[in-house]
Structure 1
Amino acid sequence: MMQLLSVNLGRARTVPYTDHPQGVTGIDKRPADGPVRVSAPGPKGVGASGLAGDAVCDTRHHGGDDQAVYAMAREDLDFWERELGRTLPNGSFGENLTTAGLDVSGARIGERWRIGPSVVLEVTSGRIPCRTFQGHLGEKGWVKRFTLNGAPGAYLRVLEPGEVRAGDPVEIVHRPDHDVTVAMEFRAGTTERSLLPRLLAAGPALHPESLAAARKYAEAYAG
């Protein structure tokens, strides 16, 4: 059964490991007790998180309509628990949604999920690890290790707003007929740039920055 295990929110706090000008981050997310409102937050640089009550501090790189929600599979957290030899509660990777029974990194770009009775989200891209993520976990070499594993979790845009809560069922209501997955998009942007032209098959559902990179690469190497 595909379901939502927790909805995780972060508060802004000051830390020594972020590039934010004021040194604040909302990456430390904890499960919410009740329902949480989900809606499109607005363009990147203006809008922040798609979840009410969730802090996104560095809007230069995070938040906005195409990165409104970040989801991670509990199965991937369990993998890293075994690898790192430590407990990783839901929200440990800064994800808003921790899921069960759903292949998040194997989801196709443009895939749509209905969560609970009303919310519909659309997959746009994978999450690129950063210095803040590494500092939050306190694991040396974490950015490289996470990248090489290739299961980044998914960013999603909000197509239909509403409320979500822990225990809500997750249903895949649309799966595109191309083969561009979150994992492929992630590898194309990090370790296997030769994959970039293949991302074009996902069309406008792809995160605009990834789409622009794919077009630029394809044009540069055409012929």
Structure 2
Amino acid sequence: MTARVHSVNVGRPTVGIIKRPTGIDKRATDEVVVFDPGPKGTGASGVEGDAVVNLKHHGGSTQAVYAVAREELDWWSTDLGRELEPGAFGENLTTAGFDVDSSVVGEQWRIGGSVVLTVTSPRIPCATFAAHMGVPGWMKAFTARGRTGAYLAVTQAGIIRPEDEIQVAWRPAHGVTVPAVFRAWMGDREVAREVLAAQALTAADHEELTGKLERWER
């Protein structure tokens, strides 16, 4: 199967999932315009028309777009006994025939004719995600699975549509995958040391993970 975009998804501010509005409830649309929204705290989603309400923890250049594989949604559909539609994890891009969770931090994806996205980090589960899923013990189960999808920066802006081909245009040599970084953030000290030694993260994430590791090892 050719690696491709299965669905593009956007969310409007929704009330009732948690006490405040949230943009996690995303639905499929015909196309999306992606762009660099600027630094976290000032920039929101990198997907035009997509709501990011909590600017402290979401949005900005390094979380401009979120991608999840359709195959991962299928795995969870079987596990949970209910069909998960595209956008169910709050992702902007649902891929097909493309293993998002084997991606290396820093690799670049070329989508369609012109868009280039750069893998930045895993998705860290939060209470809003758990409330949206409505599954008891969801954060623990999602963490144990360890296949989080990937956040991406927009390196070259443009339009993404369903059926656009996805190609890995460049991959760094360090080999640090998104699941490895997730394990590091979740407290695996050995993996955290490996991730830091590889210099695979953004400067801000490197500094934050260094601080976490120092606290864990006191």
Q: Do Structure 1 and Structure 2 share a fold, with TM-score over 0.5? A: yes
Alpha carbons of structure 1 residues 207 and 76: separation in structure 2 relative to 1, 3 Å: farther
Pick aligned residue for 2:157 from 158, 161, 168: 161
Structure 2 partner of 1:37? 33
Separation of aligned partners in 2, 1:197 and 1:191: 11
Alpha carbons of structure 1 residues 133 and 67: separation in structure 2 relative to 1, 3 Å: same
The letter for the 2-side match of 1:180 is: V
Q: CA deviation at 1:3?
A: 0.2
Separation of aligned partners in 1, 2:128 and 2:55: 14
For 1:56-95, list aligned pairs within 5 A: 56-95=52-91
Q: CA deviation at 1:210?
A: 2.9
How many residues in Structure 1 have an aligned counterpart in Structure 2?
216
- How large is the RMSD of aligned CA atoms in angstroms? 1.8
Pick aligned residue for 1:55 from 51, 58, 61: 51
Structure 2 partner of 1:188? 184
Identity among equivalent positions (%) equals 50
Separation of aligned partners in 2, 1:195 and 1:183: 10
Residue segments in structure 2 that go unaligned for 5+ positions in a row: none
The letter for the 1-side match of 2:149 is: G
Cα deviation, 1:71-123, whole Å, max 9, x if unaligned, reads: 00011101000100000000000000000111111100001000111110000
* Residue 200 (structure 1) aligned with residue 201 (structure 2): no
Alpha carbons of structure 1 residues 88 and 16: separation in structure 2 relative to 1, 3 Å: closer
Q: CA deviation at 1:191?
A: 4.3
Cα deviation, 1:20-65, whole Å, max 9, x if unaligned, reads: xxx00000000112x2110000100110100000000101100000
Separation of aligned partners in 2, 1:148 and 1:202: 24
The letter for the 1-side match of 2:34 is: V
Q: CA deviation at 1:14?
A: 1.1
Task: Tell me the TM-score normalized by structure 1.
Answer: 0.91
Structure 2 partner of 1:15? 16
* Residue 216 (structure 1) aligned with residue 211 (structure 2): yes
* Residue 109 (structure 1) aligned with residue 113 (structure 2): no
**Is 1:199–1:214's contact at 8 Å kept on the other side of the alignment?**
no
The letter for the 1-side match of 2:22 is: T
Separation of aligned partners in 2, 1:16 and 1:29: 13
SS of residue matched to 2:139: helix
* Residue 27 (structure 1) aligned with residue 24 (structure 2): yes
